[in-house]
Every structure is written in C-alpha cells, then in structure tokens.
Structure 1
Amino acid sequence: MIEFATNNWILRALILLVIFGIVAAVVLFISSATSRRMRVSRELAALGGEGGATSSETLTRQRTEGAWARIVNRVESAGLNLSDTAETEITKQLRAAGFISPSAPRIYTLVRLIMLFVLPGLFVGLSLLKAEPPSLLTLYLGAMTLAALGIYLPNIFIRAKAEGRRKEILNGFPDCLDLMLVCIEAGLGLEATLDRVGREMANTHPLISQMLSETTLLMRAGASREDSLRKLGENASVDEIRSFATLLIQSDKLGTSLSTTLRVYSAEMRESRRLRAEEKAHRLPVLLSIPLVAFMLPTMIGVIILPAVVSIIRELLPAL
C-alpha cells in the first residue's frame, strides 16, 4: 500500500490535500475561538470605558451583522473596494428579493467575484488531475464558460427570488385587505389595524406580517403616517403595494372612508388574482404540448411505421 502510494502521484496529491484540509480546519477553529475571545474582551472594555456609549460600532449592530457582512468589511479594510457603479440598481433588485441590509450590495459583488474565480479554478484543477488532461483550448473554453456562469448565476438567483417573493405577497395581500376591512369596520384605527393584522398573519403570510409589523413600529417610533406607509411600499418593492400605500395616504389626507377604500381595493386585488389563475390555467395546454410533441409523438410515429418497415424488410430484401 505504501509502495502504491509512493508510485501513484494522484494518490499522493489526495493525501496531501487531506492533510492540508485537516491542518487548515484546526488552524481555523483555533483562530475563530481566539478572535471570539478577543472580540468579547473588546466589547467588555468598550462597555466599561467612558466612550462606550458613543462607540461607532454598537453591540446590537455586531449581533445583528451577519458573517458575510463581517467578511466584506475585512476584505474592504484589506484594500479591495466592493462598491459598484450601478449600486442603486443592485440595491433595488436586492430589496425586491428581500435583502434589505445596507451591506447587501457589497456582499452581492463579493459573491460574484468569488464565483468568477472559484468555478474556473475548480474546473482547471479537476481537469489537470485526470490521467489524460484536456487540451488548452478545452480548458480555456470551459473556464470562460464557468466564469460567465459565475457572474450571471447570482443575478439569476436574485431575480428568481424576487419573483417568488412578489408572487407570495400578491397572493396573500387580498386576505390581508379583508382582515384590515374587518378591523376598520370594528372601530380600530389604522395603526391598531396594521398591528392586529400583522400578528394574525404571522403564520399564514409571514412576509406581509413582517412588512405590517415594521410599519407599525415606525408609527410608534414617531414617524408620520405618510412616511411609514411610503416606507411600506418601498420595502415591498411591489407596484400593487405601492399603490395601496398611496391610496391609504390619500384617504387619510382627504378624510374619506377607509372601509370603502379597502373594500374596493380588495375586490380589485381578488379580481387580479383570479385573472392570474385563469392565465396560468390557459397556459397549461400550450406547456403540455411541448413534452407531448417531444416525447410521445416520435414514439407514436415509430409504433405506426414499424409494422410497415418490418414488412418491407421481409419482402423486398430477399428479392434484392
């Protein structure tokens, strides 16, 4: 076994990789434990010092800040700027997908950079480990394809997540409007209505519940009703929710009945949901025709033609 390992370079490389992985894991564990102890010591020192209350990085921010945000801060402190020229557009896309953290655009850029280099590197490394490595042209084309995928896969993921979030909000918002209408007609104010509906929909529609709860907290924190409702439309990143927030603001300013407004808008939202369901139902025959034509039609043609082909082979081939 030892002679085989010494003669086979692939096995030697795998053994070295395993040893390197074990050593790296041990070093990472020790360094993370040490850094955690040092961070706790700094937090305690900051709390005990006179300037702890005015520190720019509070304990609440450190607890809520994720690991990716800390990695981004370390990368930028090392000298690599992760800000993008189209950061406003990226922020809108990430907000529509539900990523509202201030560091989300920089994390998005960092993930794209990592995938840009990691995917081609893995392809080239695995290709070179083969007994017969591919040609340079194959390596180049494969690496370029994977690099392009590494750039566009995060964008595709964000767009798909934003579309799923939008559909979930649109499908659950008519139920939210009905509950709000019941609360308004029962005599509750707008702030109490938003709070009650947000708590009631925590299990059925958690996204809508989170948005309504944030709006309620903004109102209780002292923000005006108009600013809180506009913030609701911005956080949702859905046109229908923006229209709903604008409608509530106008009703509040003009003094019209909120129950009438909610009843009309709820009927419109339910009609829109019904039309979307009918559209999906009408698209099903077209979508089903693709697998039917691709898989069943060739099989049917083969079954129909096969007896004739067998007869021709039996009768014409002997004569020829």
Structure 2
Amino acid sequence: MLSNLAPNHVFLLVSLFLVISLTGAAVAIRSALSHNKTMSRRLAGIPKAGAVKTRRSKSRAATPNMIAKFGQHLTLPDPEEISRIRFKLSQAGFYTVKSIPVFYAIRLISLLLPQFVLLIYWSLFAHDLPTKTLIYWSIGLISAGLFAPSLYLRHCINKRKLQARDGFPDMMDLLLACIEAGLGLDAALNNVSKELGKRFPVIQINLDLLNLELMAGRTRSEAFKNFAERLGLEEASALNIMLKQSEEMGSSLGKALRTFSEEMRSKRMLRAEEKAMSLPAKMTVPLILFIFPTILLMLFLPAGARLSEAFL
C-alpha cells in the first residue's frame, strides 16, 4: 500500500508515527524519573471524600482501573498542580482518588486517539486528500482534544453550581425548621442532608462531606469555608460568614437563620423575575425568523394567487 502513496504522504505518515512514538517514550521516561511510588503514596494519603455513598459517586467510581493506572504515569509531580486539579474535579463531582490519574489519561487519549482515527481514515478512504488539508485537520483535532476535557470539566462545574443555587433556599428552610425544633447545628445538617438527597444530590453530597469534616475534628468555620469553596456559591460564603459572626457575638442562631433564609428566598424570586423579564427579548429572534414569515405568507399568498389569475 505504501508504494501507491505519494512521497509527501509517506513522509507525513512516518513523521506522525515518530512523533507519537517519541511522545510515548518521553512519558515512560518521565514516569520512571518522577518517583511514581512517592506519588502513589501521596495520592493514597489524601482522604477519600468518595466515602459519601451516592449513586452518582458510585457510578463515577466504577472507572476502569486500567485507565487509572495509565494516568498515574502521567500525573504531574507538582503538589500545587495536583491540589488544583483535585479541587476542580471535586467541584465537578468526581471525589475518588483515581479521578486525578483518570483525568490525565483522558487528556492524553483525547490528543492521540483522534490522530489515529484520522490516519486510518486517510490511509483507507482518502488517499487523494491534500497534505495541507490533512495538516489542518490534524491541528484542529489536536486543539479539540487539548481543550475538550477542560471544557467538559467546566461544564460539569457550572451545571452543579446551578443545581446547588436552586436548592440552597430549600436547604436553608429545612435547616431553620430543624434548628427551631430544638436540634443542634450538626444534627440539623445531618437531617437536611437526608431530606435533600433525592431532589438536590449536589447539596446532599457536600453536606455529607461537611459532616465528615466536623466528625474528623475540623472547626466549624473551616468546615463551612470548605463547603462554600466546593459549591462555589456566594450564598454559601455568606452562610459561613453569618454563622461565624453569630458564634462570635453570641446571637440567636435561629433568628439569624430566619433572616438569611428569607433573603435566599427573595434572591430566588428575583432570579425567576429576571428570567421572566428576559423572555421577550429571547423570543424576538425566533419570532422574526420563523413566525413572522409564516404569517406574511398566509396573508399575501391568497392575494398573490388572485392577482396571478387576473393577469395571466
């Protein structure tokens, strides 16, 4: 088959395979020099927030071990980079220790796999494809594979933020009801987590993590600060500040929660009103493109038919 190919195509094919081979060799050498055992111990020492038992976390924890082992050789040895990626993964809902190597493995696979598919398609079905077009396709696939995992991660984070923002007022109402019923804050958080599990699993998971941190001995302010950072909501940060001030000043927790809960309901109502007010502007383009031409056609088509009958 190679004898039937143009010399530039053969050179491009060999070059691509050499680049892929050198990349694999560089990854292998780097993994050998970066003390994989030390990194494995470091990752194993991170507390497993995946102990929170939810259907979503179980399904995500069922990632094939082969991908996780492959990704461990690609994990950067920088602790700051690992902590940053781990924080983003936790915000996106991936809590297991294997999520970090799996993420790096997916990033490499998303870079290399489209190139292999392009080479196979070119060698079997598109022999006459110009070299420039092939290079453009290769660059486009590399760009897509480079940014696709990060974009998907950002999409998951934004989606979970929206779910958490929708359920935050309900969480505050349930928390206020539990506090006014005489429960302590820790017991109230536990009950709220159980009640919100079906409707708002994002809040339920983060509340379970909050309870685990409190049980592990962290202070309430640190636990709520981590809770607010995981959710990424201003409302959660405001709740942390309110609880901290209430504890320092010795004010009534029930009154503070009632005021805060009313404020959360008001914000949710304002968001609903903003969506309702923006609806006419969003409907303008569909009306102009689809509905108005149909109405004009219905109005002028009979007149046009009569005029054509009269003059023809």
Q: Normalising by the residue count of structure 2, what TM-score does the alignment of the two structures yield?
A: 0.69
CA–CA distance in structure 1, aligned partners of residues 206 and 222 of structure 2: 14
**2:266 counterpart of 1:271:** yes
Task: Tell me what 2:275 maps to.
Answer: 280
Q: 1:207 aligned to 197, 202, 209, which one?
A: 202
Relative contact order (alpha carbons < 8 A, sep ≥ 6): 1 or 2 greater?
A: 2
Is the 1:115–1:151 Cα contact (8 Å) retained in structure 2?
yes
Partner of 1:71: 67
- Within 5 A, what are the aligned runs for 1:1-320? 67=63, 71-77=67-73, 80-82=74-76, 90-102=85-97, 104-130=99-125, 133-299=128-294
Moved more, 165-174 or 108-117: 108-117
Asked whether the 8 Å contact 1:123–1:143 carries over to 2, the reply is yes
Deviation at 1:288, TM superposition (A): 1.8
Change (3 A) 1:137 1:313: farther
Amino acid at match of 1:251: S
Identity over aligned pairs, percent: 30
Residue 171 of structure 1: CA displacement?
0.9
CA distance in 2, matches of 1:250, 1:244: 10
Q: Is the 8 A contact 1:120 1:143 kept in 2?
A: yes
Counterpart of 1:292, as a letter, is L
For 1:99, what is the secondary structure of its paired residue?
A: coil
Q: Which has the larger radius of gyration?
A: 1
How far has the Cα of 1:91 moved from its partner?
A: 4.3
CA offset at residue 303 of structure 1?
A: 6.2
- Alignment deviations for residues 6-42 of structure 1 (CA, whole Å, 9 cap, x no partner): xxxxxxxxxxxxxxxxxxxxxxxxxxxxxxxxxxxxx
Instruction: Specify whether residues 236 and 69 from structure 1 end up closer, same or farther in structure 2 by C-alpha distance, changes over 3 A only.
Output: farther
Q: Residue 169 of structure 1 aligns to which amino acid in structure 2?
A: A
Q: Measure how far apart 1:181 and its partner are.
A: 0.9
Larger displacement relative to structure 2 (216-225 or 86-95): 86-95
Q: Give the drift of 1:293.
A: 2.3
Q: Check whether the contact 2:176–2:258 (CA below 8 A) recurs between aligned residues.
A: yes
Q: CA deviation at 1:235?
A: 2.4
How far off its partner does 1:197 sit?
1.3
- Maintained 8 Å contact 2:71/2:104: no
Superposition TM-score, scaled by structure 1 size: 0.67
| Structure 2 Cα separation of the partners of residues 124 and 291 of structure 1 | 42
- Deviation, 1:191, is 0.9
Quote how far apart the aligned CAs of 1:66 are: 5.6
Task: Say whether the 8 Å CA contact 1:229–1:249 is kept in structure 2.
Answer: no
Provide structure 1 residue ranges, at least 5 long, that are not aligned to the other structure.
1-53
Q: Secondary structure at the match of 2:125?
A: coil
Tell me, in whole angstroms, the C-alpha distance in 1 between the residues paired with 2:203 and 2:171. 8
